[in-house]
Amino acid sequence: MNVDENETRTVSSVELSTQAQGENNMTNSQNSETPQDLGGPRITQNPPPAPQPAPTKTPQDLGGPRILQNPLAAYTVKKGSNPTVEVTIKNPSTNASLNWNANIVYGAGATGWLNLGQIVNPIPSNSPVSLSVTVLTDNLTAGHTYTATLVATSARGNAQAPISVTVN
C-alpha cells in the first residue's frame, strides 16, 4: 500500500499538534494545583476544632407538664348546675412523651367540689391534651367564692394553676 507523503505529513502534524496540546494541558493543570491538592494525608500544626456546645434548650422545652388554658382561674357558676370545663395541659418536650398525673388541692372551706376527668397518658411530645374538670355545686353556698389549685405532676416537674369559683 502506497502512502502519500503529504498525507503522512498531515497525520504527523495532527499527531504532533495533539501531543503538544496534551503536554500543554498537563502543564496547565499541574500549575493550577496547589500542594494541598496533591499527595496523601498531611500532618498539620493546626489544633483540632473546638468542641461545639450542645444545643441549649429553652425553659419551654424542659421539665414537666404546662397548664396552657385554665378557664377556672376566675369562674362564676350558678348553684345547682354542674358545668364541665376543659383545661389544656401540654408536654413541652420536643423529643419525649410525658407520663403525668393531676390532683386538686382545696383552699379553706369546702372540699370535694371538683371532679377530674380521665387523664390521658402519656402526652405525646410537644402536644396538648384536655383534662375535663367538673364543678359540683350541690354542696356549695351561693354568694361564696371557693378556691383550689390544680396540680399536674410528673417525674420531670410539676405545674400548678389556681382555681377560683364563685357560686351565684
Residue 157 belongs to a domain with what CATH number? 2.60.40.10
Q: Are strands 128-135 and 84-90 parallel, antiparallel or unpaired?
A: antiparallel
- Retrieve residue 129's grid coordinates: 391534651
14 assigned to some structural domain: no
Query: Is there a domain that residue 114 lies in?
Result: yes
- pLDDT tens track for 52-106: 665 544 454 568 999 998 999 999 999 999 999 999 999 999 889 999 999 999 9
Give how far Cα 42 sits from Cα of 32, 46, 48, 72, Å: 20, 11, 14, 69
Domain that holds residue 158: 62-167
Q: Is residue 10 part of a domain?
A: no
Cell numbers found for residue 86: 376543659
Distance CA 67, CA 150 (A): 9
Main-chain dihedrals φ then ψ at residue 143, nearest 5 degrees:
90, -5
- Minimal CA–CA distance to 64: which of 35, 99, 24? 99
Q: Does residue 162 surpass a pLDDT of 60?
A: yes
Element (H, E) at 25: helix 5-32
For residue 36, name the pLDDT band (cuts at 50, 70, 90).
Answer: low
Domain count, the chain: 1
From 143, 147, 142, 141, select the one nearest 160 (Cα to Cα): 147
| 163 in any annotated domain | yes
Residue 88 within a domain: yes
pLDDT band with cut points at 50, 70 and 90 for residue 135: very high
Cell reading at 139: 354542696
Q: Does residue 74 form part of some domain?
A: yes
Q: Measured between alpha carbons, how far is 91 from 119 in angstroms, rounded to an integer?
A: 13
Q: Establish if 7 belongs to a structural domain.
A: no
Report residue 88 as a C-alpha cell. Answer: 389544656
Please check whether residue 120 lies inside any domain of the structure. Answer: yes
